[in-house]
Amino acid sequence: KLDAKILRYMTSDEFRVLTAVEMGSKNHELVPLSLIAQIAALRHGNSHKIIGELAKKNLVSKIKNAKYEGYRLTYGGYDYLALKTFVKRGSVYSVGNQIGVGKESDVYIVADESENQLVLKIHRLGRVSFRAIKSKRDYLQKRKSASWIYMSRLAATKEYAFMKVLYDNGFPVPQPIDQVRHCVVMELIDAYPLRQITEVKDPGKLYSDLMNLIVRLAQYGLIHGDFNEFNILVKDNGDPILIDFPQMVSISHPNAEWYFNRDIECIRTYFRKRYNYESMLYPKFQLDVNR
Ligand code: ATP
Ligand code: MN
Ligand code: MN
Ligand code: MN
């Protein structure tokens, strides 16, 4: 869980040491204390004491076995660094309630300096797999999770880039606001996921809006890749807003047609089961997507 309170309880030396661990991580899976002390430019004894405090707060973890000894960032430490940057840039001022727990992320309502409500999506890849590998040895486990942090950053970077290009080109997606490390800040959409909406006024209209959206995306060169009832928010006026982009693929991907058909099928199946709505009309990759 994200602990917003820790933002207040960190000294500048602690911040230096935490930043040093992150910098050391760029070329060390486990960052040796000597390197941390060197980057932080504190006396070895001080770094030693401070790293112990960071470990107690769960912002770094120490890995020690016969072969290796060193430190790495935890998700907690990475969250802290990302939030600190957002706060410095003014894009986040305070953290509110958690609104979503996806498989791959935690989603919070946050506010900026002008008290505008926004959404903070923290990517957390490897959460499930992390449990699955519990039987493995300690070192392997923690080593794994270091690369999950890297993968989560990649997911956030991709998500922000896709969101930006879509938003700038008039697609119905949240406005991207900022991105740092494994986090994305975006517009808060005042709507619920399709999954939670028990009554849709005009299923036929929504169905064709969604099919048109899939085709428009593909004509623009992109396939969402996870186009389902959880990733479509429906506004009061019935308009859909699309979210959740890290997995998007290009229509020049070798399996593009398969991804495209899967998105289409996902909506057809949902409308059939949930609204008893079935249409003969649905887009075909070869016909509807100009390549
Ligand atoms: P999944 O498990 O489907 O991959 P995820 O972890 O990638 O999900 P998202 O789908 O991006 O996360 O977000 C999770 C939930 O948070 C959404 O289903 C939605 O309820 C809420 N949410 C996300 N972004 C927004 C937003 N911009 N405005 C309002 N609600 C949002
Ligand atoms: Mn999903
Ligand atoms: Mn989702
Ligand atoms: Mn997702």
Instruction: Set out the domains of the chain in order of their start, with CATH numbers.
Output: 4-186 (3.30.200.20), 192-288 (1.10.510.10)
Shortest-distance Cα residue to atom 8 of ligand 1: 102
pLDDT at 1: 59
**Ligand 1 binding pocket includes 193 (Cβ within 6 Å):** yes
Q: Tell me the C-alpha distance between 220 and 182, whole Å.
A: 27
* Averaged pLDDT, 116-125: 96
| pLDDT bracket for residue 68 (50, 70, 90) | confident
Residue 260 has pLDDT above 60, yes or no: yes
The pLDDT mean for the chain works out to 91
Q: Is 264 in the pocket of ligand 1 (CB under 6 A)?
A: no
Percent of the chain with pLDDT over 70: 90
Q: What is the pLDDT of residue 100?
A: 82
- Predicted ipTM of the assembly: 0.96
128 CB near ligand 1 (under 6 Å): no
Phi first, then psi, for residue 62 (nearest 5°) are: -95, 130
* Per-residue pLDDT at 251: 97
Q: Which of 99, 101, 188, 266 to mutate for ligand 1's pocket (most ligand atoms within 8 Å of CB)?
A: 99
Q: Is the Cβ atom of 155 under 6 angstroms away from ligand 1?
A: no
- Look-up of token digits 């890849």: 125
Q: Which residue has the higher pLDDT, 290 or 247?
A: 247
Measured CA to CA in angstroms, residue 74 lies from 54, 118, 146, 233, 249 at distances of 10, 25, 8, 32, 30
pLDDT digits (tens, 9 = 90+) for 172-193: 999 999 999 999 999 999 999 9
Ligand 1, residue 196: give the atom nearest the CA: 20
Q: What pLDDT, on a 0 to 100 scale, did the predictor assign at position 66?
A: 82
In this predicted structure, the answer to whether residue 139 has a pLDDT above a threshold of 50 is: no
| 103 CA closest ligand 1 atom index | 2
| Amino acid 128: pLDDT | 62
pLDDT recorded at residue 45: 83
Q: Find the mean pLDDT for residues 222-240.
A: 97
Tokens of 260: 């495209």
Quick one: pLDDT band at residue 118, thresholds 50, 70, 90?
very high
Q: Is residue 130 over pLDDT 90? A: no
- Angle formed by the axes of helices 256-275 and 203-220, nearest 10°: 170
Confidence of residue 8 (pLDDT cuts 50, 70, 90): low
Positions marked active-site = 226
Cα 218 to Cα 220: distance, rounded to the nearest angstrom: 5
